Amino acid sequence: MTTTSLPKEFKFKALEDCKANMRFILFLVSQGFETVGEKDEFISKYVLSGIVYSYVIEDNTIKILLKDTNEEDFENDDTTEICISDFNIGTVLSDEESSLADNKLLINKTIKTLSQINPAALTAAEVSEIEMFGLTVNRMHTVS
């Protein structure tokens, strides 16, 4: 499918590959579509966060549907659905954009990993290692 065949209003599911989602959003912005809020904040807060289930383009604006919240809304919406992996958009991330994506993904992975730690089960050596990174371990609740 070529990029010139985008409908005026459409929807698409977010891919597991956040960089692919970012490339497509940047492509849409280059085609005149607007994000909800400032573009860089939209990309950082939503596109690279892994919390978006899908995107809906209405009224020339890119809107989001969140995972575990709006999935049924997406399925019940009769807007034309496209698959972004079918498009050859030619958009390449700059080194800065790619680095931003890599860093955001690493941060999200780290937060997820830390949130799964059971502080009460940590050894003294593990607590010491965590504290080397400036984090504190509250044995009763969480790592922060």
Is residue 138 pLDDT above 80, yes or no? no
Is residue 27 pLDDT above 50, yes or no? yes
Q: DSSP labels for 26-89?
A: HHHHHTT-EESS-HHHHIIIIITTT-EEEEEEETTEEEEEETTTSHHHHHH--SPB--GGG---
Is residue 42 pLDDT above 90, yes or no? yes
Is residue 124 pLDDT above 70, yes or no? yes
**pLDDT value, residue 62:** 94
To which residue do tokens 């809304």 refer?
Answer: 73
Q: 0.75 cut: is pTM over it?
A: no
Residue with the bigger pLDDT between 70 and 134: it is: 134
Residues constituting the chain:
144
**pLDDT value, residue 2:** 41
CA angle 25, 28, 30 (to 5 degrees): 110
Burial class of 35 by CB neighbour count within 10 A (0 to 12, 13 to 18, 19+):
buried
Is residue 142 pLDDT above 70, yes or no? no
pLDDT in tens, 1-25: 444 567 889 999 998 888 889 999 9
